[in-house]
Amino acid sequence: MTFLKKNIIKNLIKSRDISSSKNDYGHAYLIAGHTKKMGAAVIAARACLRTGCGLLTVNLPKEERFILQTTIPEAMLTFRDKLEIDLDKYSAIGIGPGVGVTTNASIMLTQLFNNFKKPMIVDADALNVIAANKSFLKVIPNNTILTPHIKEFDRLFGTPVNSEERVKIALNVAKKYKVIIVLKTHQTLVTDGNLSFINTTGNTGLAKGGSGDALTGMITSFLAQGYPPLDAAKIGVYLHGLAADIALKNQSVESMLITDVIECLGKAFKLTVK
């Protein structure tokens, strides 16, 4: 196990060319949100844009479009009632935050696993869809990132005796299915089954709804920018925790919101690369 610290992440983050444009930083596609769960889509989208992708399109229920259009005008939209046919225009896809455990979500996962050949991250409700139909595990594209918290992980892979056994299972399933597991705990694990990393940033202020949605948006952004999946996961986990640590300067662990954390991402970048 390697501990994720500043020197590792600093060497991974790419500098941005002074002559670059939005087209140099990828087009991220987030499938997020559902009736009564649009906060997840807003959080994921804002975190995605705050971590540097050039373009973002969010797929959401048409009737909920005004929430995104008013809160995040930088994002483009497609609608849940019409599944995308042309996925090739997107650099990376994130699916799961608040989408609901529905037949439609299952159809979208099937389409993505069969047709999308670029980097992908699967989180939240999308993981619960897979847990309800384990046959999805056999067709997940190589290097897909799965980001379960403990309960989601146990639904997917079985309840272990203790946390040490859970880590062993994570390493085994990552190797077996050729995926990257981000096991979200107080010391988040990132592993591809061969290389494993333990995060060193973050605090209990993140133990609130929405934290995982933000992480999904961040990692989707890094994937869209062309970072290799394992590196995208490492950078996302580290900066997510570091931004939470910075947020503590103005908040307590009780009062901190994930929106506070997202607003600290700029400082997290600056502290990491300086």
- Per the domain annotation, does 150 fall within a domain? no
- Per the domain annotation, does 79 fall within a domain? yes
Domain total for the chain? Answer: 1
Q: pLDDT tens digits, residue range 118-166? A: 999 999 999 999 999 999 999 999 999 999 999 999 999 999 999 999 9
Residue for token digits 């700029």? Answer: 266
Long-range contacts of range 65-68, CB-CB < 8 Å, 24 or more positions apart? 67/33, 67/38, 67/41, 67/42, 68/33, 68/38, 68/41, 68/42
- Per the domain annotation, does 5 fall within a domain? no
Query: Residue 108 pLDDT > 80, yes or no?
Result: yes
Contact 81, 61 (CB under 8 A): yes
Residue-level pLDDT at 83: 64
- The whole-number average pLDDT for the span 71-79 is 96
**Other beta carbons less than 10 A from residue 252's beta carbon:** 9
- Per the domain annotation, does 15 fall within a domain? no
- Per the domain annotation, does 235 fall within a domain? yes
Pairing of the two strands 27-31 and 145-146 = unpaired
Q: Which domain holds residue 45?
A: 25-142+200-273
Q: pLDDT tens digits, residue range 221-250? A: 999 999 999 999 999 999 999 999 999 999
Predicted TM-score of the model (pTM): 0.97
- What does the angle CA 274 – CA 49 – CA 206 come to, to the nearest 5 degrees? 75
Q: CATH number of the domain at 125, please.
A: 3.40.1190.20
